[in-house]
Amino acid sequence: MAPAPDAVPDAGGASMDDALDALQQLQRHVATATALLAARHGASPVHLRALLVLAAHGPVTATRLGTLVGLSSGAVTPLVDKLEHSGHAARVPAARDRRSVVVSPTDAGLRVVADLRSAYAPVFRRAFGHDLDAAAHVLSSLAGALEDEVATW
């Protein structure tokens, strides 16, 4: 019986099974690291993802925050409540629509993000040396390809 086409190694010797195994290992290690870093700050992994989004995008509406973090509309308000209660974010009514709120990172929230960056810095240096362009390219390409493919499922 012939192996499945995706199980056949490419020119470099790795097969799709090898790539999926590496992806699974990466997901497991990222989940472990995220849980440890979240615990360090008395937060949840979703809380950390929200802080990373706020640090990258600046103030956003609660609806937009939910979209960027990947939450349902019903899960956004409790997340914003926790972010605000922890002192990691602040919310104010939106100027254009007072039914909506804008969520902004606080200095304390940005310190958490700085700690995450510090924790991951040696990981990226070990994997990519000082070529963060390569890291960003590989990870962005994978994320974009996955997003595009999932949209067809």
pTM for the whole structure: 0.82
**Residue 104 to residues 1, 57, 67: CA-CA distances in angstroms?**
58, 9, 15
Domain hosting residue 60, numbered range = 44-139
CATH number, position 69: 1.10.10.10
* DSSP letter for each residue of 8-63: S--TTS--HHHHHHHHHHHHHHHHHHHHHHHHHTT--HHHHHHHHHHHHH-SEEHH
- Let me know if residue 72 belongs to a domain: yes
- pLDDT at residue 4 in the model: 58
Query: One digit per residue, pLDDT tens: the chain, 153 residues?
Result: 555 555 555 566 788 899 999 999 999 999 999 999 999 999 999 999 999 999 999 999 999 999 999 999 899 999 999 999 999 999 998 888 777 899 999 999 999 999 999 999 999 999 999 899 999 999 999 999 998 999 999
CA 138/CA 142 separation, integer angstroms = 6
- Let me know if residue 7 belongs to a domain: no
Q: How many domains does the chain have?
A: 1
- Let me know if residue 20 belongs to a domain: no
- Let me know if residue 18 belongs to a domain: no
- pLDDT at residue 6 in the model: 58
- Let me know if residue 36 belongs to a domain: no
- Let me know if residue 99 belongs to a domain: yes
* DSSP letter for each residue of 127-140: HHTT-HHHHHHHHH
- Let me know if residue 111 belongs to a domain: yes
- Let me know if residue 30 belongs to a domain: no
